[in-house]
Amino acid sequence: MRNLSVTLVQCELAWEQPEDNRRQIGEILAGVGSETDLMVLPEMFTTGFSMNALANAEEPGGATEAWMMGQARQYDCAVTGSIAVRVGRAVYNRMLFATPDGIQHYDKRHLFRMAGEHKRYRAGGERVIVQWRDWRILLQVCYDLRFPVFSRNREDYDLALYVANWPAPRRHHWRQLLIARAIENLSCVVGVNRIGADAKGLEYSGDSLAVAADGTLLADALSESVARTVVLDGAALQKYREAFPCHLDADRFKLE
Catalytic residues, by residue number, are 43, 108, 142
Phi, psi for 95 (deg, rounded to 5): -90, 120
How far is 23 from 26, CA to CA, in rounded Å?
5
How far is 208 from 194, CA to CA, in rounded Å?
8
How far is 224 from 42, CA to CA, in rounded Å?
14
| Angle between helical axes of 18-32 and 63-75 (0-180°, round to 10) | 10
CB 104 within 8 A of CB 130: yes
SS3 at position 67: helix
Q: How many CB atoms lie within 10 A of CB 5?
A: 16
| Cβ partners under 8 Å of residue 139, min gap 6 | 80, 95, 97, 105, 106, 128, 129, 130, 161
Phi, psi for 134 (deg, rounded to 5): 80, -5
Phi, psi for 221 (deg, rounded to 5): -80, -5
